[in-house]
């Protein structure tokens, strides 16, 4: 990975994780490079586990400008970053490493991705919101909802202790409700952070009236998911996780290159890759 003598310097970036073969990040970033005419940039993917992140980063030469991190690297990345944004600290997760003057800088663009996806769906300063699930992505969802100006948040989850940890970092009131009750009084915004197709929570929407509710399902594969289908049938406006993925990648690209990302081109590439 170090530069070869006489090689033409290029700007490089990549997505790291394990597994990583499923990642759409190369599709999104390469589509942006093409739309912007950034011929000197390349974007790859590498399977790296927690123990391999530090040696991988140490082996990168000056041509490397940024890394997108997926599971299981979002926590161990704190050990690699020389600087960490306040947003990443509050989220407890780094999904972006960029080359800084003093070393690698850790940031979190998942929060931006959720905010932008909901704004595209017409969400502005909702009075309340519901988060389904209490895992790592739920914390990013909480910070995104705070950024949108929400005044209170319900967290529908089985793990009361995990919800208490979310409440401890929140700047607005957080209430725990049973997972099966997420659709009862869901409010104007719902963010489902449950991995997989969401079949376990889809049935809870079948008897609910979700008219006027915007539901973002962070899952983007095998769309529509059972949850997305059930919520749509109950009257909700449903947003695919692809929109979050595109917007968080767009923010990464801005950080890596200093250029505003061509979001429509990235959306088109992502949709084409999924349908293909």
Q: How many other CB atoms are found less than 10 A from the CB of residue 222?
A: 10
Of the pLDDT bands very low, low, confident and very high (cuts 50, 70, 90), residue 207 is confident
Q: What CATH number did the domain enclosing 267 receive? A: 3.40.50.10860
**Helix segments in the chain, DSSP class H:** 25-36, 53-58, 86-91, 110-120, 136-147, 160-169, 199-202, 226-233, 241-257, 263-275
Catalytic residues: 74
Angle of the 241-257 helix axis to the 25-36 helix axis, nearest 10: 50
- pLDDT of 182 higher than 90: yes
| Residue 104 shares a structural domain with residue 118 | no
Q: What CATH number did the domain enclosing 163 receive? A: 3.40.50.720
The answer, yes or no, to whether the previous bond of 72 is cis (omega within 30 of 0) is yes
Give the count of domains, the chain.
Answer: 2
In a domain, 4, yes or no: no
Strands 64-69 and 96-100: antiparallel
| Residue 160 shares a structural domain with residue 208 | yes
Determine the Cα angle at 267 with ends 85 and 125, to 5°.
Answer: 55
Q: Is 210 helix (H, G, I), strand (E, B) or coil?
A: coil
| Residue 104 shares a structural domain with residue 147 | no
Eight-class DSSP state of 80 = T
| Residue 89 shares a structural domain with residue 182 | no
Percent of the chain scored above 90 by pLDDT? 87
| Residue 121 shares a structural domain with residue 236 | yes
In a domain, 6, yes or no: no
What pLDDT, on the 0 to 100 scale, is given for residue 1? 46
**229-263 pLDDT, tens digit each:** 999 999 999 999 999 999 999 999 999 999 999 99
In a domain, 1, yes or no: no
| Residue 231 shares a structural domain with residue 151 | yes
Domain hosting residue 25, numbered range: 11-108+250-275
In a domain, 88, yes or no: yes
**32-49 pLDDT, tens digit each:** 999 999 999 999 999 999
CA-to-CA separations, 236 to 206, 216, 229, 256, in angstroms, rounded: 11, 10, 10, 36
In a domain, 41, yes or no: yes
| Residue 24 shares a structural domain with residue 127 | no
Q: How many other CB atoms are found less than 10 A from the CB of residue 219?
A: 21
- Calpha distance 156→178 (Å, rounded): 5
pTM of the model: 0.94
- pLDDT of 102 higher than 90: no
| Residue 61 shares a structural domain with residue 160 | no
Q: Is 157 helix (H, G, I), strand (E, B) or coil?
A: coil
Instruction: Check if the beta carbon of residue 91 is closer than 8 Å to that of residue 140.
Output: yes
What pLDDT, on the 0 to 100 scale, is given for residue 90? 95
Q: What is the mean pLDDT of residues 160-182?
A: 95
| Residue 64 shares a structural domain with residue 186 | no
In a domain, 232, yes or no: yes
- pLDDT of 5 higher than 50: no
Instruction: Check if the beta carbon of residue 16 is closer than 8 Å to that of residue 43.
Output: no
In a domain, 234, yes or no: yes
What pLDDT, on the 0 to 100 scale, is given for residue 205? 79
| Residue 183 shares a structural domain with residue 216 | yes
- Helix, strand, coil share of the chain (percent; to 5): 40, 20, 40
| Residue 117 shares a structural domain with residue 234 | yes
- pLDDT of 150 higher than 70: yes
| Residue 235 shares a structural domain with residue 254 | no
- Calpha distance 13→38 (Å, rounded): 13
In a domain, 2, yes or no: no
Strands 237-240 and 214-217: parallel
């Amino acid at each position: 990975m170090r530069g070869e003598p006489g090689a033409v310097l290029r700007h490089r970036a990549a997505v790291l994780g394990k597994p990583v073969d499923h990642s759409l990040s190369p599709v999104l970033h390469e589509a942006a490079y093409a739309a912007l005419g950034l011929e000197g940039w390349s974007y790859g993917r590498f399977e790296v586990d927690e123990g391999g992140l530090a040696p991988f980063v140490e082996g990168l030469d000056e041509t490397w400008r940024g890394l997108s991190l997926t599971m299981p690297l979002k926590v161990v990345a704190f050990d690699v970053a020389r600087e960490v944004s306040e947003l990443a600290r509050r989220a407890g997760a780094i999904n972006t490493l960029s080359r800084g003057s003093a070393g690698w800088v850790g940031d979190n663009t998942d929060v931006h991705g959720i905010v932008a996806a909901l704004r595209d769906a017409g969400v502005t300063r909702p009075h309340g919101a519901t988060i389904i699930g209490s895992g790592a992505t739920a914390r990013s969802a909480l910070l995104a909802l705070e950024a949108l100006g929400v005044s209170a948040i319900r967290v529908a989850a089985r793990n009361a202790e995990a919800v208490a940890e979310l409440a401890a970092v929140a700047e607005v009131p957080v209430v725990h409700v049973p997972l099966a009750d997420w659709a009862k009084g869901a409010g104007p915004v719902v963010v489902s952070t449950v991995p997989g197709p969401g079949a376990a929570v889809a049935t809870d929407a079948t008897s609910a009236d979700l008219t006027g509710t915007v539901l973002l399902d962070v899952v983007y594969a095998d769309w529509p998911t059972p949850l997305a289908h059930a919520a749509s049938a109950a009257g909700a406006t449903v947003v695919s996780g692809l929109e979050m993925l595109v917007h968080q990648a767009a923010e990464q690209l801005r950080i890596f290159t200093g250029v505003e990302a061509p979001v429509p081109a990235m959306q088109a590439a992502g949709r084409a890759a999924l349908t293909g």
